[in-house]
Amino acid sequence: MISVRGLRKHYEVHQRAPGLRAALGSLFKRTYKTVRAVDGIDFTIAAGERVGFLGPNGAGKTTTLKVLAGLLHPTSGEVRVDGHEPRRREESFLRKITLVLGQKQQLLWDLPPSETFELNRAVYGVERGAFERQMKEIVEILDIGDVIKRPTRQLSLGERMKCELCAALVHGPKLLFLDEPTIGLDVGMQAALRDFIRRYNEQHGATILLTSHNMADVSSLCPRVILIDRGTLAFDGSLEDLVRRTRPEKRVVLRFSSPPPAGTVAELGTVVKQDDASAVLQVPQSDVSRVVARALGALPVHDLDVVDPPLEEIMADVFGRRASSRELPEPGTGEPS
C-alpha cells in the first residue's frame, strides 16, 4: 500500500536574532538555515495495517504524513501510495485517502456538521443512498445523532473531533492519515474515537497511519510502530519488540493487605514506587517467576500484576538515549507485524 524509499524533506528557514537591529538588518540581508525535517527514511506498509508514527516534537512525523498525502513535495526519494505518486494529487488518489489533523478543522464553523458531510458527499460524488447508509452507521457508532444538527461553533472539542472524523470518512477512504486525532479530548472520548478507528479498520480493511503523543492511542490501536527522531528512522517493528529491546525488564505490581516489614520489598528487586498499601518493582524478565514466588511467600500480598513499563517511559528512554549517546535499537531491525 505504501512504499517510501530514501525520503528527504529539507526546508530553507529564514533566521534572525531578536531585536530591532536584527529586524532592520534582515530587510537587507537574510540568513537561511537548512532544516532537515525528514532525512532519508525507508519503510513499507501493507494494506490494512495500523501503524503508529512516534517521535518527539519536530521529529518529522507530520511532515512525513503530509508528503504521503501529497501536500508536501519530497526534496528527494521515492514515495508510492497504492500505486500513486502522492505529489501529483490525482483525483483517483484523493478519493482513496483522508487526512485528519487534530489541530485543524474542515467543518464549516457556523453551520451544522451535517452540512459539511453533505458538501463532501457532493464534492466526492458519493451516491445519495450509499452516503445515507454510511452516515447512519457512523453517526450511530459515534453517537452523534443530535450533535450533527447543531452549528459546529456550539460543539465541544470532543463532539467536533468525532464530526471531523465522520466528515473525513464520507467518501469511504481506504487510507487514513490521522495526525493527533485525540488531542485535547477527555479519556472517555479518546476511548470512543479509538474504538471507532479500530472498527473502521476491521470493517473496511483500511490502512491507518497515526501520529500521536498519546501513548494510549498507540498501544491500543497500533500493533506496529515507526519511531522517527530528527528526521531519521529510529525503529520500525512491533510494539512488543520495541518494549522488549528498550526495557527488557518487567514491572511487578504488589498490593498489600497490611504494610510489609521495612526493607523486605527492596530485597526482591528495584523499587520504582512504594507505600504502605502497594509497591512497584522492576525486575529482569528472567527473574519474574522467582520474584513473584518470593513475594507471595514473604509479603502480605493480596493482589499482584506483572506488566510492561509504561510506553511513555519507553519513549522517553529511546529518545533520551538517542539524544545523548546514540545508543538505540538499530533502525529497521524490528519485524513488521
Partner 1 sequence: MNVRGTLRALPTLLRIGFAEALAYRTEMLVWILSTTMPLVMLALWHAVAREAPVGRLGQADLVAYFLAMFVVRQLTGSWSVWLINMEVREGTLALRLLRPIHPLVSYAASSFAEIPVRGLLAIPLAGVALVVLAGDRLTRDPALWAMWAVSILGGWLITLLVNFAIGCLALLIESSTKIMDVWLAAYFVFSGYLVPVELFPPWLRGVVDAMPFRYQLGLPVELMTGAHDHATALALLGRQWGMVLVSLLLVAVIWRRGLRRFAAYGG
Backbone torsions φ then ψ of 250, nearest 5 degrees: -110, 165
* Cα three-residue angle 305-310-314, rounded to 5 degrees: 135
Which residue pairs from 190-194 have beta carbons closer than 8 angstroms and sit at least 24 positions apart in sequence? 190/214, 190/216, 190/217, 192/142, 192/143, 192/162, 193/161, 193/162, 193/165, 194/220, 194/221
Interaction residues for partner 1, span 116-135 (CB under 8 A): 118-125
List residues bridging with 81 in a β-sheet: 2, 84
Q: Does 137 bind partner 1 (CB under 8 A)?
A: no
Selected range binding partner 1 among 108-116, 134-142, 209-217, 292-300, rule: CB under 8 A: 108-116
Cα atoms in the Cβ-side hemisphere of radius 13 Å centred on 249: 17
Tell me how far, at minimum, the Cβ of 2 lies from partner 1, in Å.
Answer: 16
Question: Quick one: which segment of 86-94, 248-256, 260-268, 299-307 binds partner 1 (CB under 8 A)?
Answer: 86-94
User: Exposed/middle/buried for 187, CB within 10 Å: 0-12, 13-18, 19+?
Assistant: exposed
Q: How far is the CB of 280 from partner 1 (least distance, A)?
A: 42
Exactly one of 87, 198, 213, 245 binds partner 1 (CB under 8 A); that residue is 87
At residue 20, what is the residue type? L
Does 26 interact with partner 1 (rule: CB under 8 A)? Answer: no
Strand ranges of the sheet holding 31-45, from the earlier edge strand across to the other edge: 31-45, 2-15, 76-81
Do the strands 207-211 and 175-179 form a parallel or antiparallel pair, or are they unpaired?
parallel
Query: Is residue 81 a contact residue for partner 1 (CB under 8 A)?
Result: no
> Could you tell me the smallest distance in angstroms from the CB atom of residue 162 to partner 1?
17
CA–CA distance, 67 with 97 (Å, rounded to integer):
13
Closest CB to partner 1 among 39 and 249? Answer: 39
Report the nearest approach of partner 1 to the CB of residue 287 (Å): 49
In the window 47-66, what residues touch partner 1 (CB under 8 A)?
63, 66
Candidates 36, 108, 223, 306; binder of partner 1 (CB under 8 A) is: 108
Under the criterion CB under 8 A, does residue 98 sit at the interface with partner 1?
yes
Q: Phi and psi (nearest 5°) for 300?
A: -80, 65
> Judged by CB under 8 A, which of 38, 41, 68, 97 binds partner 1?
97
| Binding-residue pattern over the window 138 to 177 for partner 1, x denoting contact by CB under 8 A | -------------x--------------------------
Question: In b/e form, how buried is each residue of 47-84, taking b as 16+ CB within 10 angstroms?
Answer: eebbbbbbbbeebbbbbbbbbbbbebebbebebebbeb
Amino acid at 178: L
Binding mask 239-278 for partner 1 (x = CB under 8 A): ----------------------------------------
Binder to partner 1 among 94, 183, 189, 298 (CB under 8 A)? Answer: 94
Minimum gap (Å) between residue 211 Cβ and partner 1: 15
Cα separation, 195 vs 167, whole angstroms: 17
Number of residues that bind partner 1 (CB under 8 A): 33
Q: How far is the CB of 106 from partner 1 (least distance, A)?
A: 4
- Kindly give the interhelix angle for 187-204 and 128-142, rounded to the nearest 10 degrees: 140
User: Which residues of this chain interact with partner 1, rule CB under 8 A?
Assistant: 11, 63, 66, 69-73, 87, 89, 91, 94-95, 97-99, 101, 104-106, 108, 110-111, 115, 118-125, 151
